[in-house]
Structure 1
Amino acid sequence: MSIPEFRGVNMDDNLLLSFEGALAHHADFERELEPFLQALELGADKWMPDIVKGKRRQSYSRAAIWKVLREERGERSTSVGLYRKKWPVLDMSLRLRFPPLPSSLQVWLDVQPLALFAEDESCRSFMEMVRAWAIHYPAPYASAHSMADRELAGFPHFGREAEVSRKDGFDKIYEVFWLNVFGPKLVESVGRERVLSTPAHLVEELPNGSVLLVLRPTAADFASDEARVAQARAHVHLRPDLDFDTVLRTLRERSAALVPVEPRFHPDLAPLLSRLPDAFAISERQRKIAELNAFRPPVPEEWLPVALPSDVGNPERVLESYGDLSEGLVAALHTKVPSIMDATPESLTDLDFHFWRENFPERYKRDLIDGHTAPAVGAYLGDVLVKHLNGEWLPRRKLEESQVRVGQRVWLPFLRARRYMQSRQSLLDSSLTQFFREAERHRA
């Protein structure tokens, strides 16, 4: 999310609108945006923005929007962000483009949760808003639909190379979403009579020759079989070259991919694995949850039944060096992983997630990892065992042989850290979280 309060929110599906229309009077954008803001304020209802953001955040007002657009204005464009600081979440951007570029108004509007649009009234208000925009700012194409399903449909390229997609735009009916605005050129290429006879909840010809097409009364039930049949019928009507059964089968496969999967993660790793799905595109999350449900990490092998005797001449000095390593890790990561300051089991999970999200083992140079990061992680891991499991350091000359005695076993945190830092997958296979839990079980 773009507003700090909602960073880390477990993302539900969203209603996503993409709209780019023509500006008639780019020089006087306050007057030109009057219909835009009037339609937004009438149509937003429960998701009305209350934050205007440019270089800083301000409460929503038209005056604040004008101010940000003036402050952000460059030679060819200006932009403003509109958000909410409470549920439901709104993440919206408005960009104006000026000559020598074609004058345009670009909107990216994302409302969470999609379930908000299970209500007829919310959807009618949304339709009215888009209708007003499409009349005042003629668009070659615009659409609103589930974010997850748009991703599965391949929006915005629909299987084309990005360069080809940017050049050609929506030059034919690649997909029919819940709400669609087809510009005059696209309507004529399909055939105006054909477009206006599309089987759908709403098909309306607008004064500028565009057509507003809405498949169903509400947006939230897009994945139901009834909705998929309606979507397939509309698509095949507009594209007679397509096969109805093939289109419907593809839509049903997309619905199946979005069916919620109940998390059943390995108990040791549940605090970590539960955070991973949100790092993926929303359309991939249910598949990732199923994969993570099946994941079973190897049982930690970095331990010995009997301690190796310490072979260092000055154990206190060696332990100080371990402390320096651990403190170096804290100093390097305390802003990105604040809990690292506390040296708790929870901070180990936070480290696991940080390194995984950053793909640290595969993004950074191996000599840096092997020479600095892995030893620092090992020292920190050992300190957590000492602090929370009544552990005792048993230092050795060879770092990977250094041990922490917990109960009847001795554990090898530096060896664990080296294996941990081999790859992104090894961060899960050899997680710090699981290592601590295994040691905890054998504490008595």
Structure 2
Amino acid sequence: MKKITLLLALLISSVGFSQDLLIGFETGESGGLLGDPFGGMAKPTIVTGTGSNTSQVLQVVGNSATEVWQGTNFTLSQIVDLTNTQTMTIDVKSSTAITFLVKVNGGLNGAPEAAAEVTHNGDGTWQTLSFTFNSAKDNKAAAANGQYNNFVLHAYWAVGATLFDDVTKDERTFYIDNVSGPKAGAPPAEVAPTDAPPTPPSFDAQNVISLYSEAYTSAAVISNVDWDDSVFEEITIAGNKVLKVTGANFLGMVLDNYIDASSMTHLHMDYWLAIDNVAGQVLNPKLSNHAAQAGETSAIDISNPINSQGEVKNWQSKEFALNGDRGSIKEFLITQAGRTGLYYLDNVYLYVTGTASVQNNKLLGFSMYPNPAINSLNFSAKETIQNADVFNVLGKKVMSVNVNDTKASIDVSNLSSGIYLVKYNVGNTTGTAKFIKQ
């Protein structure tokens, strides 16, 4: 038994939430180290404690000669729930004043990775210290929110720091035990879309390069990699195959061959974010170019901030102009997604703007008038028109209507002036037609 139980109980009552043991180092206690340390830190060792805690504890030794962000990962014995409180506790003993950084990750349902600092005054005694995930540190979320499987300890930090750039290293050895927090009940139901992403427009084969989409023939096979901290798997939603992505900071996809995208002008992707909007949330696509086919020589990094709640938990279609070398694309990445955690991805393709295909509509008896249109657009066909989607020249769907008749009239008064493509379904055939909005 730990000899600081009374102190822990008193602190729990002051925190106001039940703190359950999530990591301990006694025989029979669950939770513990997960894999090897990182950043050049020596692997922590389990030793017999001294002072008021003579049980098994973990000795952590910081290495001032290696990375300032060095640390180690832990598996929690039970899922911690930081929805209603962001506070946890840890027992620490140190003979020098220290501050270190801790994180929660492995969030369920896209709970964002979050970080908090812990400070010991260096008096050489065991102290039960509370820490709260309520401010953005190391580019993590401004607050923990949800349930988490894993815990991370970085040996170095500084009081009030926000980035490791503000942190210096020293020689330090300290001891930890009894990582505690509010134990989760039943895991939450997984958040996922129930509708399929928008239907892409038609392009002639020479005007589109697909990385992932059922609408086009893929130019390459994409695979998970071992150098990111995210994974993807193919699932089916509303009869449509999409990629479900879970992870922390960034997603890496490697292509099975090099793609020459020199003639492509834009990148398109559809995504559905599962977590509520938080400050700093982004989903930034990146195309990695390997000109010599022997590693990255340049990259197209694209900024895509998520600025409001209206941009999450619904399908978003985004178009990005391409600038830079793209003659030998080998990898597709989504970077700095640490505040996102769970999202769904579809229709990732490169295309030439303004080249959506226009088919001959005579066989379907399809007609559309007036063209140009100002307020209303009328169309008809020989057989029942099931539905129709309207796309702008960038390939973004701007309108969708269910027709289920041989004729219809739609209001286009809110559309901006320009050229649009109507993609419609008649019987088992899909057709396209172009009109101009004045």
- Bucket of the pairwise TM-score, normalised by the shorter protein: under 0.3
Bigger relative contact order (CA 8 A; separation at least 6): 2
TM-score by length of 1: 0.25
- Specify which structure has the higher proportion of strand: 2
Pick the structure with more helix per residue. 1
